[in-house]
Amino acid sequence: MYIYPDIVEGFHCELCGTCCRNDWQVTLDEASYERNRQYFSRVNNLQEMEQAFVVMTHNQAIGEYAYIRKQESGACWFLSGNNLCRLHKKAGHQHLDAVCQTFPRYPMNTQRGIEVTLSFSCPAVLRRIQRLEPLRIVRSEKPPVEFLPENYVASVFPGQQAKFTPLYYYFELEHHFIDIVQCRGLSIAGRLELLEKTVRKLEAGKPGETFGQWLQQQIYQNYAYMDSLTEQNLSLAEVLVEHFFVNFLFKKPLYLYGLIPAVALLVHMWQEIETMQRGKGEKDRISATQAAINNLELEYGHDRQRLLVWMAKR
Ligand code: SF4
């Protein structure tokens, strides 16, 4: 089973080269480094291998062995003037490092199946979310896009969590939290307030045989409240934030980092977006919101180290 937000279906890279110019470091594990060494040796160009790949001597995370050097312009070593990757052109797609083969796809291995979404730091993805219609979560027997098998960004198996704790019921919660984030009877701030209130209540719930039943009651109470509200007219800028938060929740930070820290990060991100939107007319608010989403995705969606540091401070 494949599960994904509907924007993933039929996504294709538009070769704009933005991701090859981003301020991040593309790292490789030792096996990928060796694969490249063999390739450059075969094509008699070990000199470029030495220039392009830098073996890391400190600060490496698990699986990081080397990184790809950048050009003076800040672009990836292999990016050519027409936004094409020279390594891709010469050695083929299968040869590329996993991150280059996968981005902007975000595949996860979960108890429900294979789940996949997209990174909102890709301009082609940002264009896909320019719509007022809510994002839909789709279930299908077919993958919505091609991606590397067995190269998952996260593993999510709530059945392995302690019984009678919120994370044991993770998928019910994710579904419910996405409904809260898409509740158009509330402002964005109102939705986050309800999320915060709910996670605090759940974390304070008493573990025991009746926990699951009690959790369902909390969820029903929220639905009764949300159903009593009248849908508001929303601007596209607000809806973009809604889409960004739905996608954020779908990436499972609640499971990976805990309910309270993940919701605190949502609140923090909303404050940053609001700051960028302040004092702007509708048209400028849309571009300010897109810029804020792009920055936040780069800051917290790709830089796991930074995310962990932020979470640890909660
Ligand atoms: S930013 Fe998106 S559209 Fe542009 S090259 Fe990267 S994946 Fe393709």
Take atom 7 of ligand 1 and give the residue whose Cα is closest: 13
Provide the percentage of residues in the chain whose pLDDT is more than 90.
70
Task: Give how many domains the chain has, as a whole number.
Answer: 3
What atom in ligand 1 is closest to the CA of residue 103?
A: 7
User: Tokens 């993958």 correspond to what residue?
Assistant: 143
Note the pLDDT tens digit of each residue in 233-270: 889 999 999 999 999 999 999 999 999 999 999 999 99
In a domain, 77, yes or no: yes
Which residues lie closer than 8 Å to 290 by C-beta, 6 or more apart?
A: 126, 240
Residue 218 has a pLDDT of 95
Note the pLDDT tens digit of each residue in 270-303: 999 999 999 888 889 999 999 999 999 988 877 6
45 and 173 inside one domain: no
Take atom 4 of ligand 1 and give the residue whose Cα is closest: 16
167 and 284 inside one domain: yes
User: Within its chain, how far is the Cα of 108 from the centroid?
Assistant: 10
Q: Helix, strand or coil for residue 207?
A: coil
197 and 250 inside one domain: yes
Of 129, 149, 169, the position where a domain reaches its end is 149
Alpha-carbon gap, residue 256 to 311, rounded angstroms: 11
Write down the pTM of the prediction. 0.90
Mean pLDDT of the chain: 91
In a domain, 134, yes or no: yes
57 and 145 inside one domain: no
What the block records as the tokens of 310 is 């932020």
In a domain, 20, yes or no: no
Q: Which residues line ligand 1 (CB under 6 A)?
A: 13-19, 103-104, 122-124
Residue 304 has a pLDDT of 67
User: Tokens 């490789």 correspond to what residue?
Assistant: 28
Take atom 6 of ligand 1 and give the residue whose Cα is closest: 19
Domain with 232 in it: 156-312
